[in-house]
């Protein structure tokens, strides 16, 4: 039988209770207003779940293929940022 658990960001919305520090709540309300808090927290949690999954994928790839060459990472990062000097290094 297939897993029927929805992926992050999918499925019906339902209320949950979480405990936050008063200062965190105040900062959240200031940033989102009272009615935007749920969407903001949902987006933060989804982003963190994506980051954790990426870390897991990187760890699995490094376990199989060895660590990534830092110079290759720097070169790709420069390409993504549109750094012409970094692009020239890649050639």
For position 91, what pLDDT does the model report? Answer: 46
Q: Which domain holds residue 61?
A: 22-90
Which one-letter DSSP state was computed for residue 81? Answer: H
pTM of the model: 0.69
Is 51 within 8 Å of 43 (Cβ atoms)? Answer: no
Give the model confidence (pLDDT) of 5-32 as tens digits.
999 989 999 999 999 999 999 999 999 9
Give the model confidence (pLDDT) of 33-90 as tens digits.
878 999 999 999 999 999 999 999 999 999 999 998 999 999 999 999 998 654 444 4
The dihedral region occupied by 37, where left means phi > 0, alpha psi between -120 and 50, and beta the remainder, is: alpha
State how many domains the chain has: 1
CA distance readout (Å), 65 to 42, 51, 55, 58, 69: 34, 21, 15, 10, 11
Is residue 72 assigned to a domain?
A: yes
Is residue 51 assigned to a domain?
A: yes
For position 85, what pLDDT does the model report? Answer: 58
Is the four-CA dihedral 34, 35, 40, 42 of positive or negative sign? Answer: positive
For position 4, what pLDDT does the model report? Answer: 85
For position 61, what pLDDT does the model report? Answer: 95
Is residue 7 assigned to a domain?
A: no
Is residue 78 assigned to a domain?
A: yes
């Amino acid at each position: 039988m297939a897993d029927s658990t929805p992926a992050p960001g999918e499925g019906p919305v339902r209320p949950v209770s979480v405990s936050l520090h008063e200062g965190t709540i105040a900062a959240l309300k200031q940033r989102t207003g009272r009615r935007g808090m749920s969407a903001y927290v949902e987006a933060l949690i989804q982003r963190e779940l994506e980051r954790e999954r990426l870390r897991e994928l990187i760890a699995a790839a490094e376990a199989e293929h060895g660590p990534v060459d830092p110079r290759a990472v720097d070169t790709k990062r420069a390409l993504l940022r549109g750094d012409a000097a970094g692009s020239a290094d890649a050639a």
